[in-house]
Amino acid sequence: MIYQIFVISSVVALAVVIHYEALNLLSKVLPNLESTHRVRVLIGVFGGMIAHAIEVWLFAISYYFMHRSDYWGHLSGNYDGSLMDSVYFSFTTYTTLGFGDITPFGHLRHLVGIEALTGLVLITWSASFLFIEMQRLWNRP
């Protein structure tokens, strides 16, 4: 149980750190770009999306290896055990879309639940960041 909490917490903490660093970098770079506000906002949007994709891949790699372990449980349904199926499952979980064609069993369910919560928080964080950046950039001459 302690091991499970430690591993899941570590994956979530790494995702949050990646997101923080990405938004921190964007907040430093965007105001200094010599381009129109539209281009700066677009760079902010794509930068945020890249950060989210990296975080999804982090969870997907976790699923990929946990599925192969006897301890964590498994993913079942329309899942062939490939890394790309893990990425697909992670994207649907992170965005809370959850098609339901892949089902987690065992301790893996805990990571799935916390990924959905993490995705919700980080997507909201990105939306808030972009709103503030758009206000700041659009009010600049």
Confidence of residue 140 (pLDDT cuts 50, 70, 90): low
Mean pLDDT to the nearest integer, 53-66:
98
Q: What DSSP assignment string belongs to 56-109?
A: HHHHHHHHHHHHTSTTT-EEEES--S-HHHHHHHHHHHHTT---SSEEEETTHH
What confidence tens digit (pLDDT) does each residue in 31-54 have? 888 888 888 889 999 999 999 999
Predicted confidence at residue 137, as pLDDT, reads 67
- Class at the top of the CATH hierarchy for domain 2-19+43-138: mainly alpha
**Are the CB atoms for 30 and 43 separated by under 8 Å?**
yes
Predicted confidence at residue 130, as pLDDT, reads 92
Percent of residues, the chain, with pLDDT higher than 70: 96
The pTM of the full predicted model, rounded to 2 decimals, is: 0.93
Domain coordinates in residue numbering, the chain? 2-19+43-138
